[in-house]
Structure 1
Amino acid sequence: MSTQLENARAEEKRISEKTAADKELRSQRPVFHFASPAGWINDPNGFSFFKGTCHLFFQYHPYGIHWGPMHWGHATTNDFISWQNEPAVLAPDTEADDKGCFSGTAVEADGKHIIAYTGVSEKDGTNVQNQCIAVGDGKTYMKFSCNPVITADDIPFEYDVRDFRDPKLWYENGIYYLAAVLKAADKSGALVLFSSLNLEKWTFVSTIDASRGGLGKMWECPDIFKLGGHDIILLSLQGIAADRKGYFHNGNNSVYMSGIIEPDTRTFIRSLRPENGLDAALLDYGIDFYAPETTLAPDGRRIMIAWMHNWEAYSTPDEYVWSGMMTVPRELVFKDGWLYQNPVREIADYYGQKNSGKRCTLSGRSTYQGVSGRHLDLSIRMRESDNACARSITIKFAADETHCVLLAYNFSAHTLTFDRTFCGYCHDILSVRTMNIPRDESGVIELRCLLDTCSLEVFINGGKYAFTNTFYSPQNADNIIFESDGTVIFDYACCRIKRKK
């Protein structure tokens, strides 16, 4: 084991022990989401199954709560909700990756757990990105001595060597495939494909797809999989400008595309998305969602997880010893042209007290029995026919006399707004995000809200849309208050969520 990896493991152990011994530090952490054990995390990496256990790796800097030289942290789970922290597995400790071990994926093949990652190194005064391989047993991973295995020499056209990263690895019919993103000569993103028989020598196959200036300035974190008879590609886009219809927001956006990868040319033909009539649509409309990655569970479910944070709206309190968490893992279903996403069903195993109400009438301000706290699964169902004269309903989460986080639905504009302005931040960051919700032909609006210490994930109309945002409020701000402009009639069901002992 290298000194760098040994030091990283010692630091994460030190911080984890400090947290375990301090009640206040423990109270800051989420109950049913994976969060950094120590220091900074960002992209999920290597989300995969190996010998029946689900593994999650992640971009990791255990030495502080801001981004630094990238390592790979590691955790495992048997149910997607409770996570076991494992020792870090990769550190920037070789000539191929001494500037960082960037994002990648993992696959089980031939009895081995194989990691593909981006190694960053310096060449002629420039940090260049190449693709590397490591192989392990679920605990310890050894990097190939021949790393990097894919470099500029393997790409038959010019591109920016500073931007070639995030390999997606899979094994199919005895052949390894690796897809990675790069910044092409036109200064926009492209997704390129390679194949190999032995993981060491790789051959360029095709450019699967390219932005050509149409989808941001750079692509990141690709994922490719089949779902519901369609090929699905996930991408995280940099350098997007917001459009007036609300289909995209400024900065980084995570999107999906559906279509077909032509088997002969290995190129992707995009289909139009029903959400917006375009050939790419947002996966999540909130502030804090980036770099999603999926895995195929042994029972056939396609499960997605993402970094629940925002590069351009850093909000971790200075006194925290950790920064960054992941979304709740989400089951993906592609049905009738829509990509639905909902929390994994295992979350129901963590339900405690349950409360519900039918045809509740709200005029002004009210609270409801059992609807309080910072860890719950709350569903709200409203019929447009019942609320023709209502203007809006607002739910104040994490509320006390000073603090609150707002979630507001406007009946006439068909918009949902999140506002963390009064959550307790003492610095100016992006705090408000509004999304459009096209009217559903059923005339029903359903909001499923997962609240966990410092995050609020909302799944709309059965998972057609998702809206993910974080906030950091004092833990004793735990009231939930309903307010309306006009009279609102709704049903609710609330389940408290607790840790398993």
Structure 2
Amino acid sequence: MKEQLERAEAGVAKLLEGRSDRWYPLFHIAAKAGWINDPNGLSYFNGRYQVYFQHHPFGTQWGPMHWGHVSSEDMVTWRREPIAMAPSIEADRDGVFSGSAVVSDDNQLVAYYTGHRWRNGVNEDEGNLQVQCMAVSDDGITFEKTGVIVECPEGLLHFRDPKVWRMGDTWYMVFGACSAENRGQVWLYTSTDMKSWEFDRVIFTDPNPRVFMLECPDMFPLDDKWVITYCPMGTKPERYVARNGHNAGYVVGDWQPGGVFEQITDYRTIDWGHQFYAPQSFEAPDGRRIEYGWLGSFTMPIATQEVDGWCGQFTVPRELTLDKNNHLRSFPIAEIEQLRTETIDFGAFELGLNGDKVLVDDDGGAVEIELEVDLASTSAERIGLRVHNTPDGGHTYVAYDDLAGRVDLDRRLTGNGDRGHRAAPYEGGSQLRLRVLVDRGSVEVFVNDGAESITSYSFPNKGPRAVVLCAESGVTKVNGLKVHRLRTIWESPDR
């Protein structure tokens, strides 16, 4: 694999020469250059958090998949590592697809991934030949592939994205699959030695008959329940739900090893934005369930693909919890606060009828905004933040819409890339809390301590990027407002 990895590193270096940083993220994980998609192999190993990702090092479009790699001691400051895996054996000749990583009893990092081949050698018109493979590492940087550990069952055209965890003496592995009846399913396998795996059961079938494949499944416990997150292929837009070409959601249920998964909630959306896909979680050493998602799209052109030399980034790491209604809540991990370099505290105030208040007027390209509004004392029809507000009037608008009862992210005037808007439901209550993370080319909105989130690209026009608070057709009572400037996450920011 050495030759293939060297070629991949050379491909990234060539793209890096022409990389534009106008929208390149300061505090979100992205490759130095080239394309990335799914988070892979999330783990804590050798005293560092290990994050791998699907990576095409030779261009800004999706292509033959490699595993890129970054690591961190604290999930705050990150170090770029060499590309971890490249297509190098017959089983993965067309791509080292998504997977996960766990630590073995002999202190090796064991990665499980899908080895991908096109049945016709060109594309998936005749389906995929996908097998599950294993690779081991002593340091998390250099991997040795050990080959296929789960063959593709007869008749399955989609069978990928292994996620592995351990309970007691047994290892468990789930895959996404398209059944012979063209239904989206999650399959469960078990092992006692990490090498020999046996089929246990189809642990979940999406009840929607249109859904033919469940990509990137994850299965994990929260409190006394089990959560299955997955990405259904084949959904159709229905009002606010499933508006993207690729969507992600979850179900909650009861499960015991050796038994069936008893679903107790309907399918629910994880994130309501334009760009959130392929989430993967892991258990941190302190027991928190941490998740990353991918900001990107396979179906919609991304502005950075044209001339910027890179495409794709991750969300900030999010802590997952279940509330009393079995609703999955996600919120930026506490460590994100260590990125703050300066805080502007506006305190409490009232914003008058149709008023505007400039919060940042020089460059709000990497900021975090904490806003609390007293809705009981507010008459405005919409209360919003214009972020990435450029001198020509371009901006992305994040607002609570009192008429719709939703929090909206509107890119109609952003300036570059796809437009459109997305809206998350508001759970109610007189105190609206918004936490908005604005990077050079993205916006993440968290509503009322993670009850809902909205994640979207936002590619502003040239010039300073201001942040403006505004009220529409009424006054707004602000209980608190802070703006934090954020530093870069990179250990060596010189690319």
User: Residue deviations 1:56-95, cap 9 Å, x none?
Assistant: 1100001111000111111101222322111111111111
> Which of the numbers 262, 266, 280 marks the counterpart of 2:267?
280
The residue matched to 1:253 in structure 2 has which SS? Answer: coil
For residue 256 of structure 1, what is the aligned residue in structure 2? 250
The answer to whether structure 1 residue 434 and structure 2 residue 427 are counterparts is no
In the alignment, the residues of structure 2 paired with residue 159 and residue 475 of structure 1 have an alpha-carbon distance, to the nearest angstrom, of 52
> Contact 1:32/1:82 (CA < 8 Å) preserved in 2?
no
Q: How far does residue 36 in structure 1 lie from its aligned partner after superposition? A: 1.7
For residue 113 of structure 1, what is the aligned residue in structure 2? 109
In the alignment, the residues of structure 2 paired with residue 226 and residue 325 of structure 1 have an alpha-carbon distance, to the nearest angstrom, of 27
Q: How far does residue 135 in structure 1 lie from its aligned partner after superposition? A: 0.6
Structure-2 change in CA distance of 1:27 and 1:241 (3 Å) = closer
Structure-2 change in CA distance of 1:360 and 1:215 (3 Å) = farther
Structure 2 residue runs without a partner (length 5+): none
For residue 359 of structure 1, what is the aligned residue in structure 2? 349
Residue 447 of structure 1 aligns to which amino acid in structure 2? L
Residue 347 of structure 2 aligns to which amino acid in structure 1? G
User: Residue deviations 1:355-402, cap 9 Å, x none?
Assistant: 222033232242345575111110121122111x32112321111232
Structure 1 residue runs without a partner (length 5+): 273-278
Residue 261 of structure 2 aligns to which amino acid in structure 1? F
> Which of the numbers 167, 179, 182 marks the counterpart of 1:187?
182
The answer to whether structure 1 residue 269 and structure 2 residue 262 are counterparts is yes
Residue 261 of structure 1 aligns to which amino acid in structure 2? W
Residue 133 of structure 1 aligns to which amino acid in structure 2? M
Q: How far does residue 9 in structure 1 lie from its aligned partner after superposition? A: 2.0
Bigger mean CA deviation after superposition, 486-495 or 231-240:
486-495
Q: How far does residue 430 in structure 1 lie from its aligned partner after superposition? A: 4.7
> Contact 2:217/2:231 (CA < 8 Å) preserved in 1?
yes
For residue 322 of structure 1, what is the aligned residue in structure 2? 310
Residue 472 of structure 1 aligns to which amino acid in structure 2? F
The answer to whether structure 1 residue 58 and structure 2 residue 46 are counterparts is no
The answer to whether structure 1 residue 167 and structure 2 residue 162 are counterparts is yes
In the alignment, the residues of structure 1 paired with residue 359 and residue 220 of structure 2 have an alpha-carbon distance, to the nearest angstrom, of 43
> Contact 1:186/1:212 (CA < 8 Å) preserved in 2?
no
Identity %: 31
Bigger mean CA deviation after superposition, 191-200 or 342-351:
191-200
For residue 276 of structure 1, what is the aligned residue in structure 2? none
The residue matched to 2:353 in structure 1 has which SS? Answer: strand
In the alignment, the residues of structure 2 paired with residue 191 and residue 121 of structure 1 have an alpha-carbon distance, to the nearest angstrom, of 21
For residue 218 of structure 1, what is the aligned residue in structure 2? 213
TM-score by length of 1: 0.90
In the alignment, the residues of structure 2 paired with residue 215 and residue 304 of structure 1 have an alpha-carbon distance, to the nearest angstrom, of 27
> Which of the numbers 297, 315, 319 marks the counterpart of 1:331?
319
User: Residue deviations 1:409-433, cap 9 Å, x none?
Assistant: 21122122212232222x6x35322
Q: Where do residues 359-438 of structure 1 align in structure 2 (5 Å cutoff)?
A: 359-370=349-360, 373-387=364-378, 389-402=379-392, 403-425=394-416, 429-438=418-427
> Contact 2:358/2:466 (CA < 8 Å) preserved in 1?
no
> Which of the numbers 474, 485, 493 marks the counterpart of 1:496?
485
For residue 131 of structure 1, what is the aligned residue in structure 2? 132
Residue 359 of structure 1 aligns to which amino acid in structure 2? F
CA RMSD of aligned residues (A): 2.1
> Contact 2:318/2:333 (CA < 8 Å) preserved in 1?
yes
User: Residue deviations 1:470-492, cap 9 Å, x none?
Assistant: 12224523111223222222231
Structure-2 change in CA distance of 1:424 and 1:135 (3 Å) = same
In the alignment, the residues of structure 2 paired with residue 476 and residue 79 of structure 1 have an alpha-carbon distance, to the nearest angstrom, of 34
Q: Where do residues 240-255 of structure 1 align in structure 2 (5 Å cutoff)?
A: 240-244=235-239, 246-255=240-249
> Contact 1:30/1:453 (CA < 8 Å) preserved in 2?
yes
In the alignment, the residues of structure 2 paired with residue 247 and residue 319 of structure 1 have an alpha-carbon distance, to the nearest angstrom, of 32
The residue matched to 1:9 in structure 2 has which SS? Answer: helix
The answer to whether structure 1 residue 304 and structure 2 residue 288 are counterparts is no
In the alignment, the residues of structure 1 paired with residue 309 and residue 301 of structure 2 have an alpha-carbon distance, to the nearest angstrom, of 15
Q: How far does residue 209 in structure 1 lie from its aligned partner after superposition? A: 0.7
In the alignment, the residues of structure 2 paired with residue 107 and residue 399 of structure 1 have an alpha-carbon distance, to the nearest angstrom, of 43
For residue 331 of structure 2, what is the aligned residue in structure 1? 342
Q: Where do residues 433-472 of structure 1 align in structure 2 (5 Å cutoff)?
A: 433-438=422-427, 440=428, 442-472=429-459
Structure-2 change in CA distance of 1:124 and 1:353 (3 Å) = closer
Give 4+ residue runs of structure 1 displaced > 6 Å after superposition: none
Residue 411 of structure 1 aligns to which amino acid in structure 2? D
Q: Considering Cα pairs closer than 8 Å and 6+ residues apart, tell me whether 1 or 2 has the greater RCO.
A: 2
For residue 142 of structure 2, what is the aligned residue in structure 1? 140
